[in-house]
Amino acid sequence: MTVLEARNISVSIGKARLLQPVDLSLETGTLTAILGPNGAGKSTFLKALLGLIGHGGETKLDGKTLSSLSPSERAKQIAYLPQGQNHAWPLSVEAVVALGRHPHGGQAHDDQGDNVVERVLEAMGLTALRNQSVLTLSGGEQMRVSLARALAVEASFLLADEPLASLDPRYQFEIMSVLANQAKAGKGIVVVMHDLALAARYADRLVLMKDGALLADGAPHEVLIPERVESAFGVRTHLTEVRRVEGSITAALPDRLD
Amino acid sequence: MRLSASLAVVLLALAALSLAVGTTAFSLDQFLAALTRSDERLALIVYEIRLPRTLLAILIGGSLGLCGAGLQGLVRNPLASPSLFGAPSAAALGAVIMISSGLAGALSFALPVAGMVGALASVGALMLLAGRDAPIIVLLLAGLVLSSFAAAGTSLALNLSPNPFAALEVAFWLLGSLEDRSFQHIAMAGPFIIIGSILIATQARALKVMSLGEDTATSLGVNVQRLRLVLIVGVAMAVGAGVSVAGTIGFIGLVAPHLVRPLVGYDPARLLLPATLAGACLLLAADLLVRLVPTSGEPLKVGVVTALVGAPFFLGLVLRERRALAGRATL
């Protein structure tokens, strides 16, 4: 098991503090969903964790400070899926997925001689689209390509920033089940998302944020209780039974404004 | 690779034409006699006058195409080019200050150095001003301001020049020309152009990853700061040195990558070599045109031709990108 640890990670711009010092320990083999209202600091936290923005505190990967690793060592360990990928050029689907191999010197093959790009294209159902330009794809297809690109890194951790945004329900299920299967296969998956029902269904652990600080952290049935959800989002909730892969839980889900 | 091979063939053909065409008309027999040095007078024309001119066109055109491809990859926009970053005007300012102040002669190494310093100042200032993830509109406006400022500086230097003949000579030189350049010019600028070009070429893979944006590129292990620095220094060296021996030659860096980009699947890494070859072909072709068009007085300047052809091309590109420019708030 590998551990990705945020120690006192904080972010300020000028005098405004976007993120209070956060301590959080993330593990492989777990799908962690980060939830919270807009402006809670979820994306900021992911970016700071990876060192994409200036921040206080430090990130440790298996006890080693992230900034002490070389960029390619770090990239081999942690993959990142940004919010709303924008492509500068109409590259082919295959070319974009192959960019995920950059940390490995651009080699499509892994140490076992297996062609990772081919494997990921197939797993994500992109083989038929491989020669198509990414700019001609639908939003759902583009997300599949972006996720395939992130999976091609074969990192221990994947930090995904709102991968479900503007996807239809079918694609939302599809992306979440891919992420859940990755976690089951031993990867550490961290997803920023807004859909509490999907989080309750697929995530192993929920982290609830508000105003740049952690509000709650635990299993879905522990975090999704009426008081917490109501105070975090300012909405009324109702208790619902949510089916999971194994068994089901009772969760407080948003219902109405007051 | 097939594309680069075809471009190389075109380049060789243009280079051969460039050796054969000029004020002194050659028959095929005479040309062959010159090439084989069996006629000393004709050989002198080909080897001492036309060969350096041809080599310089290849060096400068090629490096401009490469610089354009690199900058377009860096800022993730097909409208970027050395001229829009103010690099040639700033390089010209550096060189003009050296010449008009009498600090350096037209054949001194101080000239390319001053050109490179000027170009470095302008491209570096632009990247600083625009910051990270700057919208293209900010880059273009900042570039416009920097080139206007450099042009004003150049005008000031000419204005204050104590010698009107020197000022006139500088003004003509600024138009951009490869005429009457010797191997000494190649020795002055060539090493810097080649080193600058190599610097840009080393960033091919990083440029390709930049296609996904700065954050994703960083997450994939690209050191974006270093990429930016290496490209700025490479462009400044190549453009600065080129301008200091041939004046300002615009638009090659914009047009060359654009012509070949669809032929390499829009891949910013695979674009570099064909864009270099296309740039060399374009400048050689423009320089041939200059020699073939009859004029009554001063011969046509190649910088004038590239600007006359390039400006409408740029306008067309802007019109085509209009929707994308409006829709894409940031690069």
Helix (H) or strand (E) holding A256: strand A248-256
Say if strands A3-13 and A205-210 run parallel, antiparallel, or are unpaired: unpaired
How many whole angstroms separate alpha carbon B36 and alpha carbon B158? 45
Instruction: Name the amino acid, one letter, at B301.
Output: K
Do residues A164 and A198 make contact, with C-beta atoms less than 8 angstroms apart?
A: yes
Best residue of B212, B224, B264 to probe chain A, by most A CBs closer than 10 Å: B212
Residue B317 pLDDT = 85
The answer to whether the CB atoms of B222 and A102 lie below 8 A apart is yes
* ipTM of model: 0.94
Single pTM value for the model? 0.92
Residue A253 pLDDT = 95
Average pLDDT, chain A: 95
Helix ranges, chain A (H): 42-50, 71-77, 93-99, 116-123, 139-151, 169-184, 196-202, 220-223, 226-233
Which residues in chain B show pLDDT less than 50? 327-331
Chain A residue numbers with beta carbons less than 8 Å from the beta carbon of B70 are: none
| Helix, strand, or coil (residue B296) | coil
Q: Is B268 on the interface with A (CB under 8 A)?
A: yes
- Name the minimum distance, in Å, from the CA of B156 to any CA of chain A: 40
pLDDT digits (tens, 9 = 90+) for A176-234: 999 999 999 999 999 999 999 999 999 999 999 999 999 999 999 999 999 999 999 99
Least CA distance to B132: which residue of chain A? Answer: A53
The answer to whether the CB atoms of B268 and A85 lie below 8 A apart is no
Which residues in chain A show pLDDT less than 50? none
Q: Work out the burial of residue B67: count CB atoms within 10 Å of its CB; fewer than 13 is exposed, 13-18 middle, 19 or more buried.
A: buried
Residue B328 pLDDT = 47
Helix ranges, A115-206 (H): 116-123, 139-151, 169-184, 196-202
Residue B329 pLDDT = 37
What are A115's strand-pairing partners?
A109
Residue B324 pLDDT = 63
Residue B75 pLDDT = 87
The answer to whether the CB atoms of B76 and A88 lie below 8 A apart is yes
What is the distance, to the nearest Å, from the Cα of residue B54 to the centroid of all Cα atoms in its chain?
Answer: 15
Which residue has 């191999």 as its token pair? A101
How many whole angstroms separate alpha carbon A88 and alpha carbon A69? 29
| Cα dihedral A15, A21, A26, A32 in deg (nearest 10) | -60
Residue B174 pLDDT = 86
Of B205, B268, B328, the CB nearest to A89: B268
Do residues B107 and B185 make contact, with C-beta atoms less than 8 angstroms apart?
A: yes
φ and ψ at A113, to 5 degrees? 80, 15
How many whole angstroms separate alpha carbon B210 and alpha carbon A53? 17
How many whole angstroms separate alpha carbon A63 and alpha carbon A240? 40
How many whole angstroms separate alpha carbon B6 and alpha carbon A252? 66
CA B3 to each of CA A133, B67, B271: distance values in angstroms, whole numbers, following the listed order:
20, 19, 10
Q: Is B258 on the interface with A (CB under 8 A)?
A: no
